Each structure stands twice: as structure tokens, then as C-alpha cells.
Amino acid sequence: MTTLDLRAKIPNDFFPAWELNALLDGYANRPAKISSMLKKGEIIQIRRGLYTFAEPLRRGLLSDGMLANQIHGPSYVSEDYALSYYGMIPETPAVVTSITRSRSRRFDTPFGVFSYRYCRSQAYPDSPASRTPISAGAGPGTTVVAVNTSGRDYRCRGRSKQIPDRYA
């Protein structure tokens, strides 16, 4: 099976190792085939168990936000990267920071550095009822999601953060 055949069978630009193994089922030594594809540059390992196709075979651009959600989840992009994305700060951050309910982690990938910070479950928006769509400052057709915290005090990685109602 060629890489073009794999591209035709895998609908997304990101794919887990189990999907790749399932498609390479006819090979006696699947790890060797995957290693060969990595060495030839046909696929790129983002992190252990997660791959993407080389740039000519991708169906679109890889956004940092999409990569961040694929690398470690559940998580949502936050802090400097989100502020920069929506044009609220002029700097472009070197690290894409996300908030997660699982432990804090950092991944150095071929596509950049992705950092994940632990935040308590109460401050994490997991249901549609905990989200409030706002559109101030966003571009056309864009919805920004904010957490309605009612000014309560939440702890994110040991620091106390008071979130006023005016930002909810």
C-alpha cells in the first residue's frame, strides 16, 4: 500500500497509530513499514501515537489550535495564544498554552511547543450550559466562548484567580 492509498483511506490530516496499524494490516512487520514511512518523510510523528501526513499530502493547513487539541485532550487553547489569535495582543507567542483537567504537560513537537496547564474541573467548561457565546472583538462569523464563573474563585495550578463577572 502506497502513501497515496493511505491518504485516500484516512479522512483527516491527523491520525492515531491504531488507525495506521489497521490500514497496514496486510504487512507482516507494520512497525518497520511505519518506520520506513517516517524516514522517507511521507508521514510525520507529532507525538507518540499521533501522526500527520507530509505537507504535500495534507488537505489543509495545520492550525496550532487544532494541533493543541489533538496532542493532549480534553483541552482548550487559552492564555497568550488565544489573545494573540483574536488580535488582543500584538505578540505571537512561542508556546501554545492550553488548559486541561488532566495533569500539566509540555510537548516539543516538529510543529512547535505545546504546553498544557491543569485547572480544576469547576473552571473547565465541559457542557454547553457552562458556555456563553460572545462576539465582541471577534471577526465575522467567529464565536468566542467564555466561561460564566459568577465571580467565584478558582485555582489553576496553585494560583488563585478571581474572575470578575464583566468577563463572563
- List the chain pLDDT tens, one digit each, 168 residues: 788 889 999 998 989 999 999 999 888 899 999 999 999 999 999 999 999 999 999 998 888 888 998 998 888 888 888 888 889 998 888 899 998 888 899 999 999 999 999 887 766 666 443 444 444 444 444 444 444 333 444 444 444 444 444 444
Q: Is the pTM of this model over 0.75?
A: no
pLDDT at position 26 is 87
pLDDT of residue 1: 76
Given this model, what pLDDT does residue 125 score?
A: 63
Nearest Cα neighbor of 43 from 85, 1, 79, 74 is: 1
Predicted pLDDT of residue 134: 41
Alpha helices by DSSP H, 10-166: 17-23, 30-40, 64-71, 79-85
pLDDT at position 113 is 94
Q: Measured between alpha carbons, how far is 37 from 147 in angstroms, rounded to an integer?
A: 43
Residue 144 pLDDT: 41
Rounded CA-CA distance 133/109 in Å is: 32
